[in-house]
C-alpha cells in the first residue's frame, strides 16, 4: 500500500490499521473522481463530434435535396408543318436544317395558349419575353424529338419542358418577387403567370432523373445540368486506379513484408512510402501533369490520366494497409507451412495472403473511396472546369476523351455565379457521399465475409 | 544399436551478437526417440530448429559446424531447405493447424510435393496419416470441418498427422505437449512411442517425466552447451555431470 498505511514511516513494523471496506478512503475517492471526469470528457468529445456530424449531414440534405426536384411546364406544342417541313416531303435532311430558332415560336404559341386557358391576362406581347419562363434548352428538346419522329409533324404533341431556373427557384422559394427587382431575367408578372399555371397543373415539380444521369450544361442553363457524365468519368478513373494500384500495391507489399532482406535500403523504402502517404495530393497532380501529359503526351482532361494520378496517390495507402494485414497473420501459420516443406512463395500465396485478404480488400476500398473524393490533383490535369456535356462513345473514348469527375463537377458548380448551381453542388455532394458510403459498407461486408479465425 | 540418422559436429549458432549454441556434437539414431531437455533459454529449441533449417527464416541467425543427414551436409549450398523440410518434418509448441478443413490440412503437404497421383490416392494418404496421428476415429465423420474447430489435443495430433503426411524420415517436435492437458498429453506421448517404429523422433520438452517416459536417448543442454548425452535410463538414474544431476533433481532450471 502507500505511505498512508505506515504513518510513522516504519518499514511495515507499524501495527496494521484495519479500515472498513464499506467506507471509501480519500485516495480511492480521488481516483474514482478522476475516472468519472475522464468518462465525462470522453462523452463530451463524442457528443461534440456527433453534433458536428448531424449539422453537416442535415445541412447537406436540406440544401441538396432540391436538386433532385425540378420544375417542368407541360405544353401541347403544335408541330406546324409550314414551319418545320416546308416541302412536306419529311426529308430528314431538310428537317435538320430548321434550327432551334425555328422551334421557339411554336413553344411561345403553346405557352400563350396555356396561359389563355387559365383565364389570366397575358401582359407580354412578345414571345421572347414569355419564353423566359422556359429553359433555353427546351427548343432543342423539341427539335430532337421531331428529328427522331418526323411523322409527328403536323400534329399536336404534349411535351414536358424544363422551366427556367428562375421559375424553378420560385417554386423552391429561392426566388422571390423582391429578389426579381434586381434580376432582368424574370419579372414579377411572370410569377403571376407561374402561380396561375401551377394552379392549373401546367407547371409541376417532379423527380429530376436528368440530374443523376444527365450531362453538365453551360452557365446559363443550370436547370439542365446533371452529374451523370462526370459520374462516368469517375467510374473510368476508378477502373484505372483499381487495375493499377491493386496489383502494384499488393505485389510491392508482399515483397517488402515477406521476401525483402532487412537492411538499410528496405528501411529507406519503408520511410519513403510512409512519407508519400502524407504528400499533399496537389503535388501528385503536378507530377501527373509533368509526366503523363507533358512528357508522355497523354490527352488532357482524360480519365486515364486522372486515374493514373490517383493511382500514385492511392498506392501508399494500399501498401501500408496491405503490409499491416500481412503482419497481422500469425507467424505460426508461416512456420506450419514451411514445416511441411512449402516454399516461401507457396507459404505466402497459399496461407498468408488468403488470411490477409480481408485487410487488403478493406484497405483497397478505403483507398479507392479516398481517390473518388479527390479534387486537387484533377485541377492540374484539366479535369476541373471541363464542361462534361457529352457521353463518351464506347469504352476507349471513356478512358481517353476529356471528361470531368464527380468532385471536380461539384467544385465547378459551386464556383458558378447562378444561385441555381449552388443547389446543384449540394445535390452532387449527396450523390458523392452516397457512393462513398456504399463503398465503405462494401468494405465492411467483405471484411466480415472473409474474416477467418485461427 | 540403431543406425545413425543425423550427425551434428561442432555446431555453433549466433543470433546477432548472442552466442546461442556453443560447439554441440550429437548423434541422433533412427527409430529412436531423442529428448532434448534443459532450462529455458538453454538453446534446445534453437538446436532443434537447426536440424531442418527453420532458422534460415531468421535473418540475423548464423549457423556454423556440420549437420549431416544420412551423411549429407544439410547446410551444403546445393541443398534446398524446402526439400530438406519434406524429409525432416516438424511439430510446433502451439498447435497451428491451417484455417482450412481437416482434410486440406493433411492433404496440403502431399499436394505440394506431388505425392498423390489422383484423388483416391490423396484420400488414402489422408486416412493413413490421420490414423498414424491417432485421430482418425475422432474426425473421420467431419473431414471437411475446419481444423481450427478441434480441441487443443486434437489439433496437436492433427498437426502431427500433417507432419507425417509428407512421409518424412525425421520428426522434430518442439514442446508438443506444453499447451495440452494431461489426458491429451498422454495421447500424444503414446503416439510418439508408436511413431518411433517408422521415424527418428527428436522431442524438446520441459517436462523431465515426459522425457523419461517417451525417450530412449536424452541430451541435456545448459546455457548453450550440450552438457550430457546418453541413454535416458542412465541420464536419469546415474548422471555423470553434476549440472545434469542438479537439473533433474530440481536444483537448477
Binned at pLDDT 50, 70 and 90, residue A43 comes out as very high
What average pLDDT does chain A have? Answer: 88
Task: Give the Cα separation of A346 and A337 in Å (integer).
Answer: 8
Rounded CA gap, B188 and B194, in Å?
Answer: 10
Q: What is the DSSP string of B117-174?
A: SSHHHHHHHHHHHHHHTT-HHHHGGGTTSBGGGS-HHHHHHHHHHHHHHT--SEEEEE
ipTM: 0.87
Cβ-based contacts of A334 with chain B (< 8 Å): 57
pLDDT of A452: 60
Cα A439 to Cα A185: distance, rounded to the nearest angstrom: 42
Whether residues A342 and B54 touch (CB distance < 8 A) is answered with no
Structural domains in chain B (count) = 1
| pLDDT tier at A2, thresholds 50, 70, 90 | very low
Q: Which pLDDT band holds residue B217 (cuts at 50, 70, 90)?
A: very high
B198 is a domain residue: yes
Asked if A339 lies within 8 A of B85 by C-beta distance, the reply is yes
In order of A287, A381, B177, the CA distances from A405 in angstroms are: 19, 12, 61
The C-alpha R_g of chain B, in whole angstroms, comes to 18
Return the residue of A nearest to B49 by Cα.
Answer: A339
Q: Which of residues 330-389 of A touch B (CB under 8 A)?
A: 330, 332-343, 346, 350-351, 355
Query: What confidence score (pLDDT) does residue A447 get?
Result: 83
Residue that has been written with the C-alpha cell 499491416 in this structure: A324
Say if residue B1's pLDDT is above 60: no
Tell me the per-residue pLDDT of A286-309, one tens digit each, with 9 for 90 and over. Answer: 999 999 999 999 998 899 999 999
Cβ-defined contact of B97 to A336 (cutoff 8 Å) = yes
pLDDT range class, residue A5, cuts 50, 70, 90: very low
C-alpha of A102 from chain center: 39
Mark out the alpha helices in A200-288 (DSSP H runs).
209-213, 228-254, 264-277, 281-288
For residue A358, is pLDDT > 60?
A: yes
Binned at pLDDT 50, 70 and 90, residue B42 comes out as confident
To the nearest whole angstrom, how far is the Cα of B192 from the nearest Cα of chain A?
A: 18
Angle between helices A188-199 and A100-118 (to 10 degrees): 70
- Output A39 or A140, whichever has higher pLDDT: A39
Q: What is the pLDDT of residue A244?
A: 95
Nearest-CB residue to A340 (from B59, B94, B109): B109
Does a structural domain hold residue B253? no
% of chain A at pLDDT higher than 70 = 96
Cell of B14: 549466433
In this predicted model, what pLDDT tens digit does every residue of A89-118 receive, in sequence order?
Answer: 888 888 888 888 888 888 888 988 888 888
In this predicted structure, the answer to whether residue A11 has a pLDDT above a threshold of 70 is no
Q: Which domains does chain A have, with CATH numbers?
A: 70-206 (no CATH), 228-450 (1.10.3720.10)
A210-226 pLDDT per residue, tens: 899 888 888 888 888 89
Task: Return the SS3 of B203.
Answer: strand
What the block records as the C-alpha cell of A254 is: 508482399
Q: Which of the four pLDDT bands, split at 50, 70 and 90, describes residue B27? A: very high
Q: Do A341 and B113 touch (CB under 8 A)?
A: yes
Is-contact B145 B102, C-beta < 8 A? yes
Residue B78 inside a domain? The answer is: yes
Question: Which pLDDT tens digit goes with each residue over A167-184?
Answer: 998 888 888 888 887 887
Nearest residue in A to B150, CA atom: A454
Q: Specify if B244 maps to a domain.
A: yes
List the CATH number of the domain containing B76.
3.40.50.300
Beta carbons within 8 Å of A178's beta carbon, 6+ residues apart: none
- Which of A335, A351, A452 lies at the smallest CB-CB distance from B92? A335
Average pLDDT for residues A10-19, to the nearest whole number?
A: 66
Neighbouring C-alpha atoms within 13 Å toward the C-beta of B41: 5
Q: Does A261 touch chain B (CB under 8 A)?
A: yes
Helix (H, G, I), strand (E, B) or coil at B208: helix
Residue numbers of the domain that contains B14: 4-248
Q: What is the pLDDT of residues A362-416, one digit of tens each?
A: 899 999 999 999 999 998 988 887 777 788 888 888 898 888 999 999 999 998 8
Q: In the predicted model, is pLDDT for residue A231 greater than 80?
A: yes
Q: Do A340 and B159 touch (CB under 8 A)?
A: no
pLDDT digits (tens, 9 = 90+) for B99-119: 999 999 999 999 998 888 899
Share above pLDDT 90 across residues of chain A, in percent, rounded to a whole number = 40
Amino acid at each position: 500500500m502507500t505511505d498512508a498505511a505506515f504513518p510513522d514511516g516504519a518499514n511495515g513494523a507499524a501495527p496494521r490499521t484495519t479500515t472498513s471496506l464499506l467506507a471509501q478512503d480519500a485516495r480511492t475517492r480521488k481516483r474514482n473522481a478522476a475516472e468519472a471526469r475522464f468518462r465525462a470528457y470522453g462523452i463530451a468529445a463524442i457528443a461534440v463530434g456527433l453534433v458536428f456530424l448531424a449539422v453537416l449531414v442535415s445541412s447537406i440534405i436540406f440544401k441538396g435535396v432540391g436538386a433532385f426536384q425540378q420544375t417542368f411546364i407541360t405544353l401541347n406544342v403544335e408541330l406546324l408543318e409550314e414551319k418545320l417541313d416546308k416541302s412536306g416531303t419529311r426529308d430528314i435532311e431538310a428537317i435538320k436544317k430548321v434550327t432551334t430558332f425555328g422551334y421557339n415560336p411554336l413553344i411561345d404559341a403553346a405557352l400563350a395558349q396555356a396561359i389563355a386557358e387559365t383565364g389570366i391576362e397575358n401582359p407580354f406581347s412578345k414571345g421572347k419575353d414569355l419564353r423566359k419562363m422556359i429553359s433555353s434548352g427546351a427548343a432543342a428538346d423539341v427539335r430532337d424529338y421531331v428529328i427522331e419522329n418526323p411523322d409527328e409533324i403536323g400534329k399536336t404533341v404534349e411535351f414536358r419542358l424544363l422551366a427556367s431556373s428562375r421559375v424553378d427557384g420560385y417554386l423552391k422559394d429561392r426566388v422571390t418577387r423582391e429578389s426579381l427587382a434586381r434580376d432582368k431575367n424574370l419579372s414579377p408578372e411572370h410569377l403571376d403567370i407561374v402561380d396561375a399555371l401551377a394552379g392549373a397543373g401546367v407547371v409541376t415539380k417532379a423527380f429530376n432523373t436528368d440530374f443523376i444521369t444527365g450531362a453538365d450544361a453551360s452557365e446559363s442553363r443550370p436547370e439542365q445540368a446533371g452529374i451523370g457524365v462526370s459520374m462516368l468519368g469517375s467510374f473510368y478513373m476508378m477502373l484505372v486506379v483499381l487495375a493499377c494500384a491493386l496489383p502494384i500495391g499488393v505485389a510491392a507489399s508482399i515483397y517488402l513484408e515477406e521476401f525483402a532482406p532487412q537492411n538499410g535500403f528496405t528501411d529507406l523504402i519503408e520511410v519513403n512510402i510512409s512519407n508519400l502517404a502524407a504528400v499533399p495530393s496537389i503535388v501528385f497532380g503536378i507530377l501527373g501533369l509533368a509526366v503523363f501529359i507533358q512528357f508522355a503526351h497523354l490527352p488532357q482532361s482524360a480519365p486515364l490520366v486522372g486515374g493514373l494520378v490517383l493511382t500514385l496517390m492511392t498506392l501508399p495507402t494500399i501498401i501500408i494497409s496491405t503490409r499491416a494485414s500481412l503482419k497481422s497473420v500469425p507467424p505460426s501459420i508461416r512456420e506450419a507451412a514451411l514445416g511441411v516443406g512449402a516454399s516461401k512463395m507457396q507459404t505466402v500465396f497459399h496461407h498468408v495472403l488468403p488470411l490477409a485478404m480481408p485487410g487488403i480488400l478493406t484497405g483497397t476500398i478505403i483507398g479507392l473511396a479516398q481517390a473518388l473524393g479527390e479534387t486537387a490533383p484533377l485541377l492540374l490535369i484539366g479535369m476541373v472546369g471541363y464542361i462534361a456535356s457529352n457521353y463518351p462513345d464506347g469504352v476507349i473514348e471513356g478512358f481517353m476523351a476529356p471528361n470531368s469527375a464527380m468532385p471536380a463537377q461539384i467544385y465547378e458548380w459551386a464556383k458558378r455565379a447562378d444561385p441555381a448551381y449552388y443547389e446543384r453542388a449540394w445535390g452532387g455532394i449527396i450523390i458523392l457521399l452516397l457512393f462513398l458510403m456504399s463503398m465503405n459498407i462494401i468494405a465492411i461486408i467483405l471484411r466480415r465475409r472473409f474474416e477467418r479465425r485461427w | 544399436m540403431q543406425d545413425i540418422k543425423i550427425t551434428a559436429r561442432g555446431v555453433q549458432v549466433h543470433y546477432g551478437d548472442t552466442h546461442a549454441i556453443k560447439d554441440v556434437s550429437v548423434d541422433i539414431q533412427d527409430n529412436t526417440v531423442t529428448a532434448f531437455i534443459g532450462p529455458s533459454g538453454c538453446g534446445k529449441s534453437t538446436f532443434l530448429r537447426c536440424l531442418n533449417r527453420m532458422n534460415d527464416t531468421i535473418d540475423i541467425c548464423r549457423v556454423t559446424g556440420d549437420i549431416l543427414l544420412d551423411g549429407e551436409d544439410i547446410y551444403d549450398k546445393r541443398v534446398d531447405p524446402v526439400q530438406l523440410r519434406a524429409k525432416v518434418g516438424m511439430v510446433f509448441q502451439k498447435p497451428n493447424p491451417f484455417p482450412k478443413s481437416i482434410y486440406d490440412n493433411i492433404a496440403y503437404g502431399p499436394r505440394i510435393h506431388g505425392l498423390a497421383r489422383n484423388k483416391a490416392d490423396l484420400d488414402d494418404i489422408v486416412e493413413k496419416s490421420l490414423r498414424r496421428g491417432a485421430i482418425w476415429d475422432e474426425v473421420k465423420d467431419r473431414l471437411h470441418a475446419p481444423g481450427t474447430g478441434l480441441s487443443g489435443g486434437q489439433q496437436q495430433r492433427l498437426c502431427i498427422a500433417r507432419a507425417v503426411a509428407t512421409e518424412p524420415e525425421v520428426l522434430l517436435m518442439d514442446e508438443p505437449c506444453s499447451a495440452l492437458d494431461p489426458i491429451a498429453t498422454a495421447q500424444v506421448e503414446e503416439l510418439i512411442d508408436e511413431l518411433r517404429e517408422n521415424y527418428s523422433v527428436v522431442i524438446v520438452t520441459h517436462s523431465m517425466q515426459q522425457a523419461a517416459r517417451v525417450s530412449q536417448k536424452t541430451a541435456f543442454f545448459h546455457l548453450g552447451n550440450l552438457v550430457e548425452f546418453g541413454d535416458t535410463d542412465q541420464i536419469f538414474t546415474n548422471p555423470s555431470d553434476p549440472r545434469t544431476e542438479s537439473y533433474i533433481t530440481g536444483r537448477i532450471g
